[in-house]
Structure 1
Amino acid sequence: MRGVVVVLFVVSVAVSQGVSFLCSLLEAVLFSTRVISLEAAMEGGSSAAAQMLGLKARMERTLSAILILNTLAHTGGASIAGWAAGDLWGADSLFIFSVLFTLSTLVFTEILPKTLGTLYWRGLWPWAVTPLKIMIVGLTPLIWLTQLLTRVFTRKGQATASPHVSEQEILAAASMGQRGGEISQMEAELIHNIIGLEEISASDIMTPRTVMKLANGALNVSQILPEARKWSYSRLPVYVGDPENIVGYVLRDHILATDPARHDPKVSELARPLHFVPASANALRLLKHFLSRRAHMCVVVDEYGGVDGLVTMEDVLESLVGAEIVDETDQVVDMQELARRRAKDMLAGREEQKS
């Protein structure tokens, strides 16, 4: 009889600790596995990834199965093992057994498996799918009962965790990926800059009106041709009369390809349509505008319709990569800084004249 009790004690402790270890490991893997990693694996043809996504999509049911089995293992194992310990070593041994069993439960069924699941979820999640599905099937009646009780105490329509990922979560994931070596620093910066495009307005990145280079549409090609040969820009806005009256833009190559001896049109006749955008338009909207209309530049106007400046696809791309895009022909890198210097010099000149 004593031998049977010893076997019962050993089996109850081993089963209780083993099942609890498994439940804690599965719980940690379930929470640690990232949806984006599963979606990438699913695109690669992994059926396990699709099943794991289904388990995460019905997290309440999956988590209920884990917690029910874990509770049964803890409670049942502790009860049977405690009875066996009292029978083997007397009632005085129950306190010592309880302390040792609690410490074992804390270390070997909580801390250790959850640490392992959190650290090694990438290699564990494909293995975790099968035991999780078996647990759900085997505990379906109890899961249904717990969900029914939960609904009784939960108001219909009560806020639940959103399945969507917020911008802050994406930024945090990018930073974590960079620190973990999953993505490069430049890739992380691109993610941050893409999300930040909505916070950047056209007025933040435009070339101010005071330093805009314009082509006089009233001139003939023969008159502007010598100057056009020196342009460092591939296209320029065209105005007629008042510089505020911008009628389009002209391509430098188009002017250079025109032979004034055979045909000498006015520059305005070569102008192509140019779109106007408000100064408040954000960089993401500008990017969509440029791509959808296959445009390269837009005139920025204020709330009264006056010309504020010029914004180009290059300006948006600079915001995206976080650096100025320059080539060997660019004499000025920051046009906004140039505009500020000119304004400062102009004010200083006026003060000198007054004095």
Structure 2
Amino acid sequence: MHLNRENEVLLSKEGNGQKRKSSCPDRRRGEIEGGLIYHDGPVEFANGKFIDDDSWVVIAPYIFIPPRGNMILLVAFAVLSIGVSFVCSLLEAALLSLTPSYIARLRDTRPALHTRLAKLKQNIDQPLAAILTLNTIAHTVGATGVGAQVTVVFGEAWLGAASAVMTLLILILSEIIPKTIGASYWRQLSPMLAPTLDGMVWILKPFIWLSERITNRIGKDSQDTDMRGEIKALAQIGLEEKSLDPDETRVITNILNLHDIPVKEAMTPRTVCVTVKPQMTVAEFDKALGRSAFTRFPVMDGGENALGYVHKADTYHADDTAELKSIMHPVKSVNAEDNVEHIFTSMVLDRQHLCVVYDELGTWVGLITMEDVIETILGQDIVDETDNVANLRKYAKQRWTKGRRHQGA
């Protein structure tokens, strides 16, 4: 190898006789264009030696050793880019995994943390904007810096390979791994979310302000959250993962469906209801219904108007000659098309155990009791030792069908 007076370098590998010529812009630095040799002093060679300022002698094929300064910059850009992106992805996954129920539970145990996390979730756009801004800056600066240093150290021919390696490292080390960790260990990471994200929001406030101005101009639709659907889906997931029993899943689902179930589907049909007349005496009641399994009886007049109801326990303390209208309790009338959730709330507030159900034509069609509502929630009939029929609605339909057959005969 020879550095001549025209600032050119002649390279040769001993044994093959091949030569290449490359311009040298700085004779004293001995730099060869394309990154073959770059040095600030004597160049290190394997099996080679430095002769003087003007010439080199290569005894064997050389091994290129990149300059340390540029390699440090290359590694620094790569580590900084991947490291910052790792933290951003970790914070993003943990923040999005925080559930309202977990934050609500912190109200009693860790009120300060509850307040800060609730604030983050309430205005989640700001921390997300901070995370995405910092992540984008890290990717852009890191990729640019790595590309520039690869060109200096290894040459432009290696730029494509370096880009592919950098893309793979970013995908695995700063996306897949941190987001998996954040989604799996968000509870453990939640204490560090608030201070870290608050600091990021404060530092990147100008970028967040600009982002908010742009998004506000584009327009932001209010989110329509189907909370009922999400809870039912969570209950189903809990069942599939064996975290919830089938009975628990059924009860949760039925409670959330109460507002969609009309009263007529939960009531006890009229055909199996037992009613009494207001003029009936206590003695007559005791003789006719004293052994009945029912405890409450609606008092109806001749026009099928509900006047009230009688509790069997009240007849024990009344005079035998007293009429039932004198000891009856007021009863509420409800529409058959109303939903069970509304009726259940009304019954609890009014301390009513029984309501008389009328259809849209004003015809009495049945009764709905607290037991009917509970059976709807549980998804099964409540049967005690005195019940002869488990499902009164099914029994009433069978009786109605049988009566129609007799009429047809």
Tell me: higher relative CO, structure 1 or 2? Use CA pairs within 8 A at least 6 residues apart: 1
Which one of 307, 314, 320 corresponds to residue 254 of structure 1?
Answer: 314
CA drift at 1:180 = 4.5
**Equivalent-residue separation in structure 1 for 2:317 and 2:133 (angstroms):** 80
- Measured against aligned partners, the alpha-carbon deviations of 1:2-46 in whole angstroms (never above 9, x if no partner) come to 222121111111111100111111111111111221121233224
**Equivalent-residue separation in structure 2 for 1:131 and 1:249 (angstroms):** 64
Give the secondary structure class of the aligned counterpart of 1:214: coil
* Residue 224 (structure 1) aligned with residue 281 (structure 2): no
Aligned to 2:296: 235
**Equivalent-residue separation in structure 2 for 1:78 and 1:222 (angstroms):** 96
Which one of 113, 126, 141 corresponds to residue 178 of structure 2?
Answer: 113
Label 1:191 to 1:75 Cα distance change in 2 as closer, same or farther (>3 A): same
Which one of 273, 287, 294 corresponds to residue 212 of structure 1?
Answer: 273
Aligned to 1:198: 259
Q: In proportion to residue count, which structure has more helix? A: 1
Which one of 271, 283, 292 corresponds to residue 328 of structure 2?
Answer: 271
CA drift at 1:344 = 1.6
The alignment's C-alpha RMSD in Å is: 2.0
Label 1:309 to 1:22 Cα distance change in 2 as closer, same or farther (>3 A): same
Aligned to 1:174: 235
Identity of aligned residues (%): 33
Aligned length: 344
In 2, are the aligned partners of 1:229 and 1:256 still within 8 Å (CA)? Answer: no
* Residue 309 (structure 1) aligned with residue 366 (structure 2): yes
Give the secondary structure class of the aligned counterpart of 1:215: coil
Output the TM-score relative to the length of structure 1: 0.90
Aligned to 2:355: 298
Label 1:253 to 1:150 Cα distance change in 2 as closer, same or farther (>3 A): closer
Query: Residue type matched to 2:129 in 1?
Result: S
In 2, are the aligned partners of 1:228 and 1:255 still within 8 Å (CA)? Answer: no
Give the secondary structure class of the aligned counterpart of 1:116: helix
CA drift at 1:184 = 4.3
**Equivalent-residue separation in structure 2 for 1:230 and 1:24 (angstroms):** 71
Runs (5+) with no aligned partner, structure 2: 1-39, 41-66
**Equivalent-residue separation in structure 1 for 2:193 and 2:247 (angstroms):** 34
* Residue 338 (structure 1) aligned with residue 398 (structure 2): no
Output the TM-score relative to the length of structure 2: 0.79
In 2, are the aligned partners of 1:215 and 1:237 still within 8 Å (CA)? Answer: yes
**Equivalent-residue separation in structure 2 for 1:217 and 1:160 (angstroms):** 56
* Residue 75 (structure 1) aligned with residue 140 (structure 2): yes
**Equivalent-residue separation in structure 2 for 1:13 and 1:168 (angstroms):** 44
In 2, are the aligned partners of 1:49 and 1:126 still within 8 Å (CA)? Answer: no
**Equivalent-residue separation in structure 2 for 1:137 and 1:185 (angstroms):** 48
**Equivalent-residue separation in structure 2 for 1:294 and 1:209 (angstroms):** 23
Aligned to 1:318: 375
Larger radius of gyration: 2
Which one of 198, 216, 223 corresponds to residue 161 of structure 1?
Answer: 223
Identify which range, 42-51 or 317-326, moves more after superposition: 42-51
**Equivalent-residue separation in structure 1 for 2:182 and 2:291 (angstroms):** 65
Label 1:150 to 1:294 Cα distance change in 2 as closer, same or farther (>3 A): closer
**Equivalent-residue separation in structure 2 for 1:165 and 1:185 (angstroms):** 23
* Residue 7 (structure 1) aligned with residue 93 (structure 2): no
Runs (5+) with no aligned partner, structure 1: none
